[in-house]
């Protein structure tokens, strides 16, 4: 509970700083409220987790595409018209029955924006960036309610401005008859960062 409270306080502090900076930039004429709204709209609707989910669902459904994605994520995403700023050099790592991957940027907040959207506040917070490297299993359980079995190895990948990682989560059971669109609806941003699983479809 204490770790969660700390994370929430950190998120609130970051949000307050962003709002203050936004207000100053608008006041000085560097930005307009319309420009800020448009940027938010772009990353909410035109790029973001829904695009990453589309890539994951395609990989689950098409073994050849999956092979291309794991070999060169940037090129594979471009096949679907996905790419751009902060997505020039991406690498996808695959979760399996024996390996669970999680992504961090220990220096700042490098992140594959075209497929995941804007990074969440907790991803940028120093407590997450420090603890996920030292004690990933404990942090995932305490802060995200996600228990990774001791039999599964956790690998932590450190993104940078030169190379941004993201996760190909495991396809959940009970999804054999689902379409690509239905599969994509199951995929979350957190599952592509590695801090949560993809939930099985509701029966």
Q: Going from the N-terminus, what domains does the chain have, and what CATH number goes with each?
A: 2-193 (3.90.330.10)
Q: Say what the pLDDT of residue 1 is.
A: 46
Residue pLDDT, tens place only, 156-196: 999 998 899 999 999 999 999 999 999 999 999 999 999 99
Helix (H, G, I), strand (E, B) or coil at 15: helix
**pTM for the whole structure:** 0.79
Report which secondary-structure segment, H or E, holds 54.
helix 49-61
- Evaluate whether 143 touches 3 at the Cβ level (below 8 Å): yes
CA 200 to chain centre: 19
Task: Tell me the catalytic residues.
Answer: 105, 108-110
* Dist. CA 90–CA 82, nearest whole Å: 12
Report which secondary-structure segment, H or E, holds 91.
strand 90-94
Q: What average pLDDT does range 48-70 have in this prediction?
A: 96
- Evaluate whether 195 touches 131 at the Cβ level (below 8 Å): no
């Amino acid at each position: 509970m204490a770790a969660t409270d700390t994370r929430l306080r950190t998120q609130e502090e970051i949000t307050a700083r962003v709002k203050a900076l936004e207000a100053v930039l608008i006041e000085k004429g560097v930005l307009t409220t319309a420009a800020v709204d448009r940027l938010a709209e772009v990353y909410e609707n035109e790029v973001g987790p829904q695009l990453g989910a589309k890539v994951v669902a395609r990989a689950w459904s098409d073994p050849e595409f999956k092979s291309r994605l794991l070999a060169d994520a940037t090129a594979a995403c471009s096949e679907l018209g996905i790419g751009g700023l902060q997505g020039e050099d991406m690498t996808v790592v695959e979760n399996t029955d024996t390996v669970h991957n999680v992504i961090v940027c220990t220096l700042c907040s490098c992140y594959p924006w075209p497929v995941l959207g804007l990074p969440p506040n907790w991803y940028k917070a120093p407590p997450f960036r420090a603890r996920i490297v030292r004690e990933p299993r404990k942090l995932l359980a305490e802060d995200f309610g996600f228990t990774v079995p001791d039999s599964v190895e956790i690998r932590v990948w450190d993104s940078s401005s030169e190379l941004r990682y993201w996760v190909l989560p495991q396809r959940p059971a009970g999804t054999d008859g689902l379409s690509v669109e239905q599969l994509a609806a199951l995929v979350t941003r957190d599952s592509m960062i590695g801090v949560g699983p993809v939930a099985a479809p509701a029966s």
